[in-house]
Amino acid sequence: MASNENNYVYGVWQPPPRRKLWWLWIVLGVLLLGFGLVLALLPSGDAGANSADRASSPYVGVLYVEGTMSISSPADGMFAGSDGYNHSYLMDSIDEMMEDEHNEGLLLYIDTPGGEVLAADELSHKVAQYKAYTGRPVYAYGHSYAASGGYWLACVADEIFLQRYCLTGSIGVTMGSLVDFSGLLEKHGITVYDLGSGEQKNAGNGLSPTPPETIEIYQGIIDEYYGYFLDWILENRSGFTKAELKTLADGRVYTAKQAVENGLADEVGEYEDALSALMLHCSKDCQVRDFQPLPMESSFFDLFLMQAQKDELSTLLELLPPSGILAYYQYK
């Protein structure tokens, strides 16, 4: 320290001490490490596992139909296709095999409780088109579920194999449940006004009384689509009269053994059994090519945003089946 003639004490100026920002470096390090892990886990290349190389040798295509069947693309929303089902990919893969002269057959690997009627019907008709166009064999293997819309698809196959713990059947159509809260609202003095262009435009909303006419309308839709389901089975599985099939098709599920006994399936066996049986119809040097959709690629920001939006409500929504007319077995 030093002093001047006026006895003012002063010192040499020192820069202020730097704030210790060690915690910031730790946070940045953790973020960089997380980003690296995400990049390592993300799939690279095409959206399908079969697209890496195109061999010129003969092959059997194994089409993996897994998850809840829906025509929505995984890119259409946070939860669409979240359990592995990709309708567009499956339809395109069948088209690809139809036009590929090296393809010698198709094995449907089914692990689904069903889903939207439209998705089940479209995919089933695409497989039927493959059979008619190519004349090649189609086998189906049910893993844990080949129920409802899953059976809608399986019945197109020439032979159906089921893993012994696979549940199948659940032949039927549903729109879920209509809940009428109008009595509860009236009890608490709440009045609801339906605003629509006709009496049935806003029917079944749960807030107004549900008249018998509304139930009739919805039941008529269900009965019509159920009839399509039965006709499709009769068209593709021999050995039933319509009356016999309706007895089996009351919505119940069957074990693999029960399904074979009542004629809904052909064999109880493993995946290898179904594949080996199909290979008997193919050339000796025939290979196996998997057609299995891969998860959609997402950026680090997308994953962070999805996690931030994943609140309790969205978690509950993931447990719900798709909306609309369903051929679906509610197993959860």
Does residue 227 sit within a domain? no
For 238-245, which contacts have Cβ atoms below 8 Å and span 24 or more sequence positions? 239/263
Domain that holds residue 132: 55-172+241-328
Does residue 43 sit within a domain? no
Closest CA to 54 of 9, 4, 99: 99
Does residue 186 sit within a domain? no
Q: pLDDT class for 36, splitting at 50, 70, 90?
A: low
Does residue 280 sit within a domain? yes
Tell me the pLDDT of the chain averaged across its residues.
81
Q: How far apart are CA 210 and CA 84, in angstroms?
A: 37
- Is 332 noted as a catalytic residue in this protein? no
Q: pLDDT class for 207, splitting at 50, 70, 90?
A: confident
Q: From the candidates 201, 242, 246, 310, which is the catalytic residue?
A: 201
How crowded is residue 114: how many other Cβ atoms within 10 Å of its Cβ?
31
Q: What percent of the chain clears pLDDT 70, i.e. is strictly above it?
A: 72
Residue 185 confidence (pLDDT) = 78
Does residue 304 sit within a domain? yes
Q: How far apart are CA 68 and CA 150, in angstroms?
A: 9
Closest CA to 217 of 228, 230, 201: 201
pLDDT at 307 over 60: no
Region 200-208: mean pLDDT is 75
Residue 87 confidence (pLDDT) = 96
Does residue 3 sit within a domain? no
- Is 242 noted as a catalytic residue in this protein? no
Is pTM, for the whole model, over 0.85? no
Does residue 218 sit within a domain? no
Q: From the candidates 70, 72, 148, 170, which is the catalytic residue?
A: 148
Total domains in the fold of the chain = 1
Contact status, residue 135 vs residue 158, Cβ threshold 8 Å: no
The CATH number that applies at residue 96 is: 3.90.226.10
Residue 296 confidence (pLDDT) = 54
Does residue 178 sit within a domain? no
pLDDT at 292 over 70: yes
